Structure 1
Amino acid sequence: MRFAILSLLLALLAAYAIAVAPQKSVIVSYPDNTPDSVLSQAKAAIVDAGGIITHEYKIIKAFACNAPAAVLENVQAWGSAYNAVVEDDSVVSINNDE
């Protein structure tokens, strides 16, 4: 009986792991004249889709996040009127050292 329950739980866990969408680490940025409501809408959509806002920039209108690729496509489409840019988050160097 315990073995059957354990097997069922493991099968459910495996199905859940397969169903979870892979997350991408990106930076979403907007021009300075973009209304704050547009950024708020984008951040809310990412969180609702299971993503995480990892950093909110103060000098520029941008934020970093880990989010499913599908919601990032939607965020970029919604922000097309404001030229939203969604780019992969990566390490940048000024002297070619890695």
Structure 2
Amino acid sequence: MPQFNVTLAKDASADELEKAKQHVKDQGGEIVSEFTLIKGFTAKIPDDAVSVLKSNDKITVEADGEVTTQ
């Protein structure tokens, strides 16, 4: 299963964050880690569940990957 970073807008409620995490779990995904400084988490998410998360305007979903600097 591909891994994604899921972040919520600053004005998103704690309930919206919990609903996003529950959606991932309900679709057979797995929360890998939770962020502490921002509202969000990294999860292994089935491809068909990603589009539902992306359809919420308070949620950003990005493929997880290696970050490098120059």
**TM-score (norm. length: structure 1):** 0.67
Unaligned runs of 5+ in 2: none
| 2:35 paired with 1:71 | no
Larger Rg: 1
Unaligned runs of 5+ in 1: 1-22
| 2:16 paired with 1:42 | no
Task: Give the aligned residue type for 1:73.
Answer: S
Aligned pairs, number: 70
Aligned counterpart, 1:92 = 67
- The structure carrying a bigger helix percent of its residues is 1
CA RMSD of aligned residues (A): 1.0
Q: 1:61 aligns with which of 19, 24, 39?
A: 39
**TM-score (norm. length: structure 2):** 0.91
Where do 4+ consecutive residues of structure 1 move more than 3 Å?
none
1:42-81 deviations in whole A, cap 9, x for unaligned? Answer: 110111111100010010111100010111111121x22x
Percent identity between the two aligned chains = 24
**Higher RCO structure, 1 or 2 (CA under 8 Å, sep 6+):** 2
Displacement of 1:41: 0.6
